[in-house]
Amino acid sequence: MNEVFDPVQAFAESRSRRVRQFRIMFSIFFLLVAVGYAQSVGVLPGKYMDIEYAYIAAAILTLGGLAYTLSQWRCPGCRKLLWHRLNPKHCPGCGIELTK
């Protein structure tokens, strides 16, 4: 196989990785909040965790995950951070095309 480096392809792949990371992050976040809520309204018998801790853990997880995800949001060509652009057409650093 003779693979040529394709920034559009590389960018699309890293984008789908990030979407997966977001999904996992939000599932955990949702689970924590759901368990905390179910417990607070008495749906779940017993006490699995302190609700305050569940919400703090959910907040830390979300912020941490978001920070990590944003730190990985880079141009595949020059590694410049693209955190301020959700869907950049061209890299502001090296100018290569990122989306078609």
Give yes or no for residue 82 binding Zn ion (CB under 5 A): no
CB–CB of 72/18 below 8 Å?
A: yes
Candidates 8, 58, 3, 50; CA nearest to 33 is 58
Which residue number, 65 or 93, has a Cβ lying nearer to Zn ion?
A: 93
Give yes or no for residue 93 binding Zn ion (CB under 5 A): yes
Give yes or no for residue 75 binding Zn ion (CB under 5 A): yes
Give yes or no for residue 88 binding Zn ion (CB under 5 A): no
CB–CB of 98/11 below 8 Å?
A: yes
Residues of span 12-41 touching Zn ion by CB under 5 A: none
CA distance 89 to 82: 11
Please measure the distance between the N-terminal and C-terminal CA atoms of the chain and give it in whole angstroms: 24
From 16-24, 43-51, 62-70, 88-96, span contacting Zn ion (CB under 5 A): 88-96
Binding site for Zn ion (CB under 5 A): 75, 77-78, 80, 91, 93-94
